């Protein structure tokens, strides 16, 4: 049977539950995923005085074809985008500035250093998101930045974050879609601290100063990202979930939940509805921790499905800003982007093909038997046939056929680097 024939049969099965598949696909087309640029070059960036990775970040593997220039990185992203259905965004870090061989300190970065990224985004009709880079720098060598006891170091990072927000606002204004600017810091201690409170007070004061410069939310939206622990900060992280959740709620900022930044038994899917009770919007970095925050490529696992379900069943597709954050240098990097992003979109489609109102009714009525029956039976409904049709309609390869295109790109482009 053809893709279209399979689709028609699957569509009829979902229609029995009042699920209008064509409307679902039209809605899915409008949901952007913010695809992280740093998968393509192993989080190296393009600073003239490039530093070794630090701040608890590590990338393993040496698969050939790593992007070594901004042009190569953009080319690789373009290739991935031809294999991913929908219209999406690109997430940049400050270390991806282009300074024409000049050493420009991070607190001196300006929109002009990202002009090539902006022009490229305009050409390909992409939104841009942004992150100040508070790691892999001499002023972060001791594991502290915005909470550092040395005011000069704190001030440097404050200026960097302020500069980043201005760059982001420039993107938002030029592209006509607001940029999400997310602040994550590695600050913490390897062993048990004797003072947990003072660093958090310093972090709060630093954030207050950063955000004291008002920027129109039509151009820039601010988010803060927590972490449980990292390499070198196993015992204590200043910017914990509780710290940033409180800060975001009190200061009208977005709380960004990274799926790798919690205890192994904590599920971010379970946090989404709790946050939406108190926040109009929240942000995600979808990753895949394996035993720890290891940033594996996102797969179509139970937690990813549950994240999609929580977003969709709570009518939050316009409330949750979805971004990705993983990096794997042991496999083809373009394939990693493609796998992870397609899976994130799959999770949303899977969720959109569920009879949520009926399931909510069953829960309210206490009919947990039928609820469980339907949850289990829908796992084997012909979701794949709908996904194949969606890919075909969006002009991207169906099923694993996209891998052939990546292999050709590897042979013709990546292997020549």
Mean pLDDT taken over the chain: 97
Q: What average pLDDT does this structure show over 44-65? A: 88
Give the catalytic positions in this structure.
184, 225, 227, 258, 261, 285, 293, 295, 325
Q: What average pLDDT does this structure show over 39-51? A: 92
Reported in sequence order, the residue ranges of 94-151 that DSSP labels E, i.e. its strands, are 127-131
Diameter of the chain measured on Cα atoms: 68
Residue 51 confidence (pLDDT): 83
pLDDT higher than 80, residue 313: yes
Each residue's pLDDT tens digit, 175-197: 999 999 999 999 999 999 999 99
Picking from 165, 51, 38, the residue whose alpha carbon sits closest to that of residue 107 is 165
> Distance between CA 371 and CA 369 in Å, rounded?
5
Q: What average pLDDT does this structure show over 66-70? A: 97
> Distance between CA 395 and CA 397 in Å, rounded?
7
Residue 58 confidence (pLDDT): 82
Could you tell me which CATH number the domain at 32-352 has? 3.20.20.150
Cα–Cα distances in angstroms (integers) from residue 412 to residues 65, 74, 114, 406, 415, in the given order:
11, 16, 28, 10, 7
Q: What average pLDDT does this structure show over 156-162? A: 98
Answer for the pair 188, 236: CB distance below 8 angstroms, yes or no.
yes
Neighbours of 366 (CB within 10 A): 8
The full DSSP string for 23-35 is HHHHHHTT---EE
- The pair of structure tokens assigned to 332 is 């083809």
Q: What average pLDDT does this structure show over 212-234? A: 95
Residue 343 confidence (pLDDT): 98
Residue 52 confidence (pLDDT): 81
For the entire predicted model, the pTM comes to: 0.97
Q: What average pLDDT does this structure show over 204-222? A: 98
Residue 336 confidence (pLDDT): 98
Where do the structural domains in the chain lie, given as residue ranges? 1-30+355-417, 32-352
3-class DSSP state for residue 411?
A: helix
Residue 147 confidence (pLDDT): 98
Residue 160 confidence (pLDDT): 98
3-class DSSP state for residue 186?
A: coil
Answer for the pair 104, 98: CB distance below 8 angstroms, yes or no.
no
> Distance between CA 77 and CA 37 in Å, rounded?
7
Q: Which residue has the higher pLDDT, 59 or 384?
A: 384
Backbone angles phi, psi at 36, to 5 degrees: -75, 130
pLDDT higher than 90, residue 48: no
**Burial of 30 by CB count in 10 Å (0-12 exposed, 13-18 middle, 19+ buried)?**
exposed
């Amino acid at each position: 049977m053809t893709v279209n024939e399979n689709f028609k049969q699957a569509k009829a099965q979902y229609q029995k539950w009042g699920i209008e598949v064509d409307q679902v696909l039209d809605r899915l087309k409008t949901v952007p995923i913010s695809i992280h640029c740093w998968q393509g070059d192993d989080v190296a960036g393009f600073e003239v005085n490039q530093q070794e990775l630090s701040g608890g970040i590590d990338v393993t593997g040496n698969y050939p074809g790593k992007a070594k220039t901004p042009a190569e990185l953009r080319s690789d992203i373009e290739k991935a985008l031809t294999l991913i259905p929908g219209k999406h965004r690109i997430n940049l870090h400050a270390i991806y500035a282009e300074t024409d061989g000049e050493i420009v300190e991070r607190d001196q970065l300006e929109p002009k250093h990202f002009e090539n990224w902006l022009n490229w985004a305009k050409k390909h009709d992409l939104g841009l998101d942004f992150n100040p880079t508070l790691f892999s720098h001499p002023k972060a060598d001791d594991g502290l930045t915005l909470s550092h006891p040395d005011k000069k170091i704190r001030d440097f990072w404050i200026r960097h974050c302020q500069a980043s927000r201005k760059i982001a606002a420039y993107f938002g204004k030029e592209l006509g879609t607001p940029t999400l600017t997310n602040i994550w810091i590695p600050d913490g201690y390897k062993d048990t601290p004797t003072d947990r409170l003072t660093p958090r007070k310093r972090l709060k004061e630093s954030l207050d100063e950063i955000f004291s410069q008002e920027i129109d939310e039509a151009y820039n939206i601010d988010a803060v990202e927590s972490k449980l622990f990292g390499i070198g900060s196993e015992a204590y992280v200043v910017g914990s979930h509780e710290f940033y959740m409180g800060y975001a709620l009190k200061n009208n900022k977005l709380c960004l939940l990274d799926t790798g930044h919690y205890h192994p038994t904590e599920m971010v899917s379970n946090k989404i509805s709790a946050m939406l009770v108190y926040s109009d919007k929240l942000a995600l970095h979808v990753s895949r921790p394996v035993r720890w925050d290891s940033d594996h490529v996102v797969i179509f696992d139970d937690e990813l499905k549950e994240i999609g379900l929580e977003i969709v069943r709570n009518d939050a597709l316009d409330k949750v800003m979805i971004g990705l954050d993983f990096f794997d240098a042991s496999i083809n990097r373009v394939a990693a982007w493609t796998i992870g992003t397609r899976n994130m979109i799959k999770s949303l489609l899977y969720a959109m093909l569920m009879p949520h109102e009926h399931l909510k009714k069953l829960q309210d009525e206490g009919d947990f038997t039928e609820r469980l029956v339907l949850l289990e039976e829908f796992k084997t409904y012909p979701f794949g046939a709908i996904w194949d049709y969606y890919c075909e309609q969006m002009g991207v390869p169906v099923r694993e056929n996209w891998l052939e295109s990546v292999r050709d790109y590897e042979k013709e482009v990546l292997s020549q680097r």
